[in-house]
């Protein structure tokens, strides 16, 4: 037996804590080509929620153990954490062992948890670490209770109530299976005690795996004390193993996000049909109407009205803006803007204050200055429009010649008549006036009128003669 296990918990000079997040498993039950740690949950990958809880608990060193689809998981989770590779999935104990080379000289605490428990709150982790620091036990673990804890490891306590070991469900006796206290798999150990005990773990169990849970019994047998901290809210320990559990976790997280927003001064008319990702920010006195979806890095200002039936992704919206039944993607929207119903604001748009975009208007990569109005049925793509210009119904920028995209530049205070086609590249000067129905394929100088259409002709009595011809035709049949 090593020195460290001889006196587990006896002392560690440092009060730092590193987190080990186990995410190397195959996650067969997800039945997915996408590795489980990367399944999106309220806008970020599943395991990012766990990383985030660690960070918010003040843990700066986070090591994620990857194995199955290791490269994809690393790329998807980002490079602000360290990674350890578990080449072969031989159990949770072996996964922790994979971190040894990174931590062999480390003398602080380690928090060990799985990468599929996205509902954990930072406060819960902080309480666990603090308990370990105060008691200097050989290990501190969270526990939870369920009338039927089938599938989970059970916490076996001795006659004096102290934790003796954890038995996995599959290895448990009928008496042990009746235990309601189960192991959520969230632990804090002095690092070197953990690694010393891991050396003693064997795989002589039903699954033939190296169980991390065996470390508890080993530390105890070496004279160490195991502290258990029952969780206040055991739904935090909910693991995601199937897509049913993923949806369940999403609905709990979503409710938390909405509650936070409501308590900060956002009105949510119908929380049951409002979907807001975890990083979205919404200002005070904004109202989110039913069927509103706010995704990614979206930021909404104060006093806005968003929805019903609106989807906004990775966009920034100013104050006092109204967006009804519309979609906005990767765009910047100013203050006092009105959008919708039924507008599609595609990536790369910038709408200055008091712009008005009405029904069936599509914008893409377009910059609209203050008070531009495009109220109906337009496509404005790869364009710049100066302030106070009016875009009539059915105006279309022809930005694509089948090979390349071209820009349309329109000055300020211009009037673009109904059904104008602007064949790019083309520039319309300040204050210019384009007559309705004009295809414009040359630049229009400032303050001039452009009219490009067939001269209208009228044929008197033509319609009357046509009707008479029609009547003769039918009479002759």
152 touching ligand UD1, by CB under 6 A: yes
Shortest Å, Cβ 151 to ligand UD1: 7
Separation in Å, CA 361 to CA 127, 325, 326, 338, 357: 53, 12, 10, 12, 7
366 touching ligand UD1, by CB under 6 A: no
Q: Which residue is nearest to ligand UD1 (CB)?
A: 153
Exactly one of 35, 81, 94, 381 binds ligand UD1 (CB under 6 A); which one?
94
Q: Judge whether 376 counts as a catalytic residue.
A: yes
**Choice between 181 and 353, CB closer to ligand UD1:** 181
424 phi and psi angles, rounded to 5 deg: -75, 155
361 touching ligand UD1, by CB under 6 A: no
In this structure, are strands 373-376 and 390-391 parallel, antiparallel, or unpaired?
A: parallel
Candidates 298, 295, 256; CA nearest to 277 is 295
81 touching ligand UD1, by CB under 6 A: no
Contact status, residue 19 vs residue 62, Cβ threshold 8 Å? yes
Contact status, residue 318 vs residue 300, Cβ threshold 8 Å? no
Contacts of 435 (CB under 8 A, 6+ apart): 417, 449, 450, 451, 452, 453
334 phi and psi angles, rounded to 5 deg: -80, -160
Stretch that binds ligand UD1, among 4-12, 90-98, 316-324, 401-409 (CB under 6 A): 90-98
Contacts of 201 (CB under 8 A, 6+ apart): 93, 210, 211, 212, 214, 215, 218
168 touching ligand UD1, by CB under 6 A: yes
Exactly one of 5, 124, 143, 183 binds ligand UD1 (CB under 6 A); which one?
183
Exactly one of 40, 108, 239, 347 binds ligand UD1 (CB under 6 A); which one?
239
**Choice between 8 and 35, CB closer to ligand UD1:** 35
**Choice between 85 and 446, CB closer to ligand UD1:** 85
22 touching ligand UD1, by CB under 6 A: yes
Contact status, residue 43 vs residue 312, Cβ threshold 8 Å? no
**Choice between 212 and 428, CB closer to ligand UD1:** 212
91 touching ligand UD1, by CB under 6 A: yes
**Which candidate in 68, 169, 295, 376 is catalytic?**
376
Contact status, residue 400 vs residue 422, Cβ threshold 8 Å? no
Contact status, residue 458 vs residue 476, Cβ threshold 8 Å? no
Q: Where does this chain bind ligand UD1 (CB under 6 A)?
A: 22-25, 65, 67, 86, 89-92, 94-95, 114-116, 152-153, 166, 168, 182-185, 211-213, 239
Q: Which residues are catalytic?
A: 376
């Amino acid at each position: 037996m090593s020195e460290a296990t001889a006196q587990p918990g006896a002392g560690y000079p440092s009060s730092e804590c590193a987190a080990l997040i186990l995410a190397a498993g195959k996650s067969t039950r997800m039945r997915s080509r996408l590795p489980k740690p990367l399944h999106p949950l309220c806008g970020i990958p599943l395991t990012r929620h766990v990383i985030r809880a660690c960070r918010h608990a003040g843990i700066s060193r986070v090591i994620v153990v990857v194995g199955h689809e290791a490269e994809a998981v690393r790329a998807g989770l980002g490079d602000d954490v360290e990674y350890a590779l578990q080449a072969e999935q031989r159990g949770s104990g072996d996964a922790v062992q994979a971190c040894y080379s990174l931590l062999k000289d480390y003398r602080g605490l380690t928090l060990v948890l799985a990468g599929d428990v996205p509902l954990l709150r930072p406060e819960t982790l902080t309480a666990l670490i603090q308990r370990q620091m105060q008691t200097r036990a050989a290990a501190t673990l969270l526990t939870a209770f369920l009338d039927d804890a089938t599938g989970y490891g059970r916490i076996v306590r001795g006659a004096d109530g102290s934790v003796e070991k954890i038995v996995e469900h599959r290895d448990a006796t009928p008496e042990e299976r009746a235990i309601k206290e189960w192991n959520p798999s969230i632990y804090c150990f002095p690092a070197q005690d953990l690694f010393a005990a891991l050396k003693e773990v064997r795989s002589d169990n039903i699954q033939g795996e190296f169980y991390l849970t065996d470390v508890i019994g080993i530390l105890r047998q070496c004279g160490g004390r195991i502290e258990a901290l029952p969780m206040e809210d055991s739904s935090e320990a909910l693991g995601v193993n199937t897509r049913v559990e993923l949806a369940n976790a999403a609905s709990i997280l979503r409710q938390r996000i909405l509650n936070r927003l409501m308590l900060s001064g956002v009105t949510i008319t119908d929380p049951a049909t409002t979907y807001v990702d975890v990083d979205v920010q919404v200002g005070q006195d904004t109202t989110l109407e039913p069927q509103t979806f706010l995704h990614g890095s979206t930021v909404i200002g104060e006093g806005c009205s968003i929805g019903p039936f609106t989807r906004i992704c990775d966009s920034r919206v100013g104050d006092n803006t109204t967006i009804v039944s519309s979609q906005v993607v990767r765009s910047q929207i100013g203050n006092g803007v009105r959008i919708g119903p039924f507008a599609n604001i595609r990536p790369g748009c910038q709408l200055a204050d008091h712009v008005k975009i009405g029904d069936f208007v599509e914008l893409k990569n377009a910059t609209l200055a203050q008070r531009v109005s495009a109220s109906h049925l337009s496509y404005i793509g790869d364009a710049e429009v100066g302030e106070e210009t009016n875009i009539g119904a059915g105006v279309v920028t022809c930005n694509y010649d089948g090979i390349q995209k071209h820009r349309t530049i329109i000055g300020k205070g211009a009037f673009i008549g109904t059904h104008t086609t602007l064949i790019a590249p083309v520039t319309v000067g300040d204050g210019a006036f384009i007559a309705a129905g004009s295809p414009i394929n040359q630049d229009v100088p400032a303050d001039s009128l452009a009219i490009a259409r067939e001269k209208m002709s009228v044929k008197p009595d033509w319609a009357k003669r046509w009707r008479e011809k029609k009547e003769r035709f039918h009479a002759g049949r």
